[in-house]
Chains A and B, each alone.
Chain A
């Protein structure tokens, strides 16, 4: 890697400060005993304790993570298979249509997706709650996974499959031992993107929650109406901490994967 020039480094530093300053500002005040974001009085953990004492808030936090993990997992499976399906379509017109349909779902506004889900679920009689939120999150995550996996599939050399078949591999072997390992980085990228999409979605979730099931984004939104209390800061700090752990985990997975493929080549 080339060394960065001084001006580029300054620019980079400014960008990172702008991106991270609000988050650290928020976390800093989550330790404030003063009760507001105006002046810092003294260090306290009371707001974190308040989060852990409020079992309703904790359940919501856990719900948010469960929905994110499961919806990302399910949508990764569906999205990967979908991407493989799209690639195997021979007719290029058909393939482009499928891709466009996939992209339309990514750019369509969340509010509209949410409202249509609400109407759909109440029409076919799905009880609003965990299942409806999970289904909605899977639905809006699938197109993202497709988009993350596709480039890897397109980049793959077709003769790899032909060679495997010539050597006597069954179709199942080709899938398990050639295609999936090759597109693995795309699958992981899709999973993590779906995870973050699910974590911070408000608009869709708001419409499809019910029966006591809520996620953090919905809860914080209605809490914020009465002014941001420092409990919100504390919970945001916790979520940020979890996110950092997830990102570090992702880093280790990818670096291990690349080391391995590097070793066998």
Chain B
């Protein structure tokens, strides 16, 4: 009995000490209590230094939380429970959140640094006139490959994926829009096509790719490519950048026929309790210095022109991540197809998946 009581007391004392330690650590940025900003972002998607800088500059205490998928993020925002002031969804999710009335329109007078953003990345179909969102990072869909394992192919064309030498060597991301879009692009069609014939043709062409496909998977592609266990993968440029930083052999290409341009944008959810603070944070992140520092840390492509001037020349002139205007003209942002056509895309993707043995 004595032991049980001793153990209980010991646990309570240790917990109290830890509580004290955690409190001391998190209060490091100045105890403001009332004026806090809750940010919901992807994992490892910001330089923690920037948060400290922001706290110092504005005196607003930042609570930072992470999520690992757009869907999970939206569920938590919809459910309430936490008052998130900033979230960073991808473009298709912004459209969905707009429809569900989960976002607050931005007050542009409070975001003067918006002028630093390349106009090319503004006023896009998923959020016209940037009423609700401001670009955070962007990228493309393309092919990451290991030159040691694929021979002479350079994937300047999508058709290279159909090369017989790649039998059972191709990995695809598990996304209907990405894969069907690739099929459409390879035929020279728009990846937002609503034309039944084009979709049919693209799917038929994809089915002939089946012998080359080894698997359709998600994030597991990263370790497989890094460890030289896979030769070719269709993936997003951000993921490709991660792979290439771990394995120097790898290369990334966006085929000439065109591809998808994706965005992760900052938005202010309806749950926000500190709308002024949220605007201040967005403005802070759009500063040239912050943009450059963040892009250096995270390794994705920044939409901030002024920031690019401050960055390493070698990085911003790398056409794999910062395509030239000419290349950009071939890129397309996903349009919201509406539930009917999204269903059609999913159905065709399923048909393609079933053709793989």
Contacts and interface: CB of A to CB of B under 8 A. Distances in A.
B318 interface: no
Given A62-B21, A69-B15, A73-B12, A223 B81 contact: no
Interface stretch (A19-27, A139-147, A152-160, A204-212): A204-212
Contacts of B38: 211-212
Interface string A48-67: 00000011101100110110
A66 B14 CA distance: 8
Interface in B220-235: 222-223, 226-227
B53 to A, nearest CB: 14
A221 B22 contact: no
A263 interface: no
Contacts of B3: 184, 253, 257
A214 B39 CA distance: 13
B354 interface: no
B18 A62 contact: yes
A225 B222 CA distance: 9
B64 A212 contact: yes
B25 A59 contact: yes
A222 B1 contact: no
B44 A223 contact: yes
B156 interface: no
Interface string A106-148: 0000000000001101100001110010000000000000000
Contacts of A181: 1
Main secondary structure of the interface of A (DSSP, over half): helix
A229 B297 CA distance: 13
B76 A210 contact: yes
A59 B22 CA distance: 5
A222 B66 contact: yes
B44 A225 contact: yes
Main secondary structure of the interface of B (DSSP, over half): helix
Given A210-B76, A223-B66, A62 B222 contact: no
A118 B68 contact: no
Interface residues of A, number: 51
B346 interface: no
A73 B8 CA distance: 7
A227 B12 contact: no
A177 B26 contact: no
B247 interface: yes
Contact of B67 (A38, A122, A222): A222
A176 B4 CA distance: 11
B63 A63 contact: no
B68 A210 contact: no
B261 to A, nearest CB: 20
B286 to A, nearest CB: 22
A11 B64 CA distance: 48
Contacts of A54: 48
A99 interface: no
A234 interface: no
A20 B200 CA distance: 51
Contacts of A62: 18, 21-22, 25
A226 interface: yes
Contact of A55 (B19, B28, B63, B68): B28
A119, A132, A212, A228 — which one has the most chain B CB atoms within 10 A of its CB? A212
Contact of A176 (B1, B8, B67): B1
A180 B64 contact: no
Given A55-B26, A212-B64, A226-B45, A69 B11 contact: yes
Contacts of B76: 210
Contacts of B26: 55-56, 59
Contacts of A222: 42-44, 66-68
A211 B68 contact: no
Interface string B54-86: 000000000111111000100010011111000
B118 interface: no
A225 B26 CA distance: 25
B43 A180 contact: no
Contact of A221 (B25, B68, B227): B68
Given A73-B8, A223-B44, A118 B63 contact: no
Contacts of B245: 36
Contacts of A66: 15, 18-19, 22
A214 B66 CA distance: 9
Given A128-B81, A177-B1, A225 B22 contact: no
A128 B242 CA distance: 33
Interface of A: 36-38, 54-56, 58-59, 62-63, 65-66, 69-70, 72-73, 118-119, 121-122, 127-129, 132, 176-177, 180-181, 184, 187-188, 191, 206, 209-212, 214, 218-219, 221-229, 253, 257
18 contacts: A37-B246, A69-B14, A69-B18, A73-B11, A118-B81, A127-B81, A128-B82, A129-B82, A132-B81, A184-B1, A191-B7, A211-B38, A219-B43, A222-B43, A225-B44, A226-B43, A227-B222, A228-B223
